[in-house]
Amino acid sequence: MTFSDLLQKHGGIDNGPAEFPPAKSGGLEEFIQKHAKLSESFFFYSGTIELRLSEDHVYFLVAELGNLLRQDGVTNTVGIIDKSLMLTPWAAKVCIQKLLRLMPTEMVNGVIRIKPLTFEEFTAIALEAKSAHKDKLEEASDIGHMAHQCLEDSIKHAMLTDPDKVVRTLINIPSDPQAANAASGGKNWMDQHNVRWIETETKIYSKEHCYAGTMDGLALCDSCQNKACCPEAFKDRLSLIDWKSSNYLKLEYFLQTAAYKCAKMEEFPQLQILDTWILRLGKNEEEAGKFEPWHVTCQEDYLLYLDGFLACLALTRLVDKVEERMRCQKSGIKAVKKEQRETAKAIAKEQAKLAKAIEKAEAKRVKEEEKIRVKAAAKAERERLKAEKLQGGTCTSTSKVNEENYGPLDITLPEEITLPPNLSPSPTTQEPPAQPHVSTTLTVETAKAIQLFKYEEETPTTIQNIPMEE
């Protein structure tokens, strides 16, 4: 048990209030009060057992090194008995009663009618009436607490001031009339049975069965004159007392008082608690000052009720174990689901990272391919231009090719021209042999070829095979 576990919600097990001392500075006590808010210590079995009570009325056994071990409570244990068969109709009844009180009404022609309501207004009233059973339970709890407190204060006052430890009068009577009626009923029972108090609001603990609780009181009692209450006469019987402010007696009250008696006699074997008194105190005006007793004197009945309590205790612990297993399983499932989510998230992250890397690699590949393509195209273009340039260096015998390579020759020549001196036959002193007559008159096409020769002087090509007219 860790101190943080004490902050969780637990069911109450105690009938009386607990006083919580201020935290002591330094040490384990300060740490306990800071994180757990426990009451003062209660010691049992000659101081060998120490119990502490939490704010939400749960007992803890103080073990070695200050470890706190939760103990089952008597009231909480008997609470496992199913009471829904009676409580469900009662809860429905008080809900309807509150709903009728909340509904706005008006008098129309001598008839009480419900005022017109919107659906939203009716819903608000119905939801408010839904909590009627909680209101009643809290109200009953407050009334019972005030009546118990008045009786406890009166008994403690008598034990301190009266030699016989008899409550002569009530003190601190509550202002609430129902609580006052209940306290008055308790006082009447004490008067009729000559009750002399030994202790009140006593903490009990069973080392054998490991449960704790609060017993209302232990006293010496005499029989009364009412045979319905005390079938046989007796005097000075040690009796266990339990006050109840409910509207009727419940079977769990017998199991609860049997548990108190068992724990008390276990710790103090010399005590011979013979009787058990369960006293339902009247709260309503017609029951003011009255009490309904349930007097247990038979040892056989006591053992039966104790077996019933121990069965509830075993069932409570079994349910706690099952619920703990369920919590562990749910926690395990939750942890697995969390791990699955984290794994899926990590996988998705890696997949996104891989997809991004693939996309980047693909983009790089496309870029490299485009670069290679552009380089290949540029190289092919250069080779084409080089080939065209090489082809353009050789003259063809047609003017069409020259015009395609160099454009049209925009020249005007006479139809007949005279060759330059360097093209004329070299003069000799001797008459050359007679040659066939060659005309020196050039045609327009021949003139163009000569002009082309001038354009190609910068290139290593030479004019060959230029056709000339004779």
More confident residue, 24 or 193: 193
Contact present, 171 and 153 (Cβ < 8 Å): yes
444 is written with which tokens? 């327009």
pLDDT of residue 239: 95
Contact present, 251 and 269 (Cβ < 8 Å): no
pLDDT digits (tens, 9 = 90+) for 443-460: 445 555 555 545 445 444
For residue 198, give the nearest of 148, 239, 257, 153 by alpha carbon: 239
Q: What's this model's pTM, rounded to 2 decimal places?
A: 0.65
Contact present, 10 and 68 (Cβ < 8 Å): no
Residue 62 reports pLDDT greater than 50: yes
pLDDT of residue 466: 44
Confidence band (pLDDT; 50, 70, 90) for 94? Answer: confident
Contact present, 158 and 191 (Cβ < 8 Å): no
Q: How many residues are there in the chain?
A: 470
Q: How far apart (Å, rounded) are the C-alpha atoms in residues 421 and 278?
A: 161
pLDDT digits (tens, 9 = 90+) for 146-178: 999 999 999 999 999 999 999 999 999 999 999
Confidence band (pLDDT; 50, 70, 90) for 83? Answer: confident
Residue 210 reports pLDDT greater than 50: yes
HEC profile of the chain: CCHHHHHCCCCCCCCCCCCCCCCCCCHHHHHHHHHCCCCCCEEECCCCEEEEECCCCCEEEECHHHCEEECEEHHHHHCCCCCHHHHHHHHHHHHHHHHHHHCCEEEECCEEEECCCCHHHHHHHHHHHCCHHHHHHHHHHHHHHHHHHHHHHHHHHHHHHCCCCCCCCCCCCCCCHHHHHHHHHHHHHHHHCCCEEEEEEEEEEECCCCEEEEEEEEEEECCCCCCCCCCCCCCCEEEEEEEECCCCCCHHHHHHHHHHHHHHHHHCCCCCCCEEEEEEECCCHHHCCCEEEEEECCHHHHHHHHHHHHHHHHHHHHHHHHHHHHHHHHHHHHHHHHHHHHHHHHHHHHHHHHHHHHHHHHHHHHHHHHHHHHHHHHHHHHHHHHHHHHHHCCCCCCHHHHHHHHCCCCCCCCCCCCCCHHHCCCCCCCCCCCCCCCCCCCCHHHHHHHHHHHHCCCCCCCCCCCCCCC
- Residue 279 has phi, psi (to 5 degrees) of -120, 110
pLDDT digits (tens, 9 = 90+) for 22-53: 444 445 555 555 555 787 889 999 999 999 98
- Domain residue extents for the chain: 3-70, 157-322, 394-420+438-470
Contact present, 263 and 51 (Cβ < 8 Å): no
Mean pLDDT of 342-365: 94
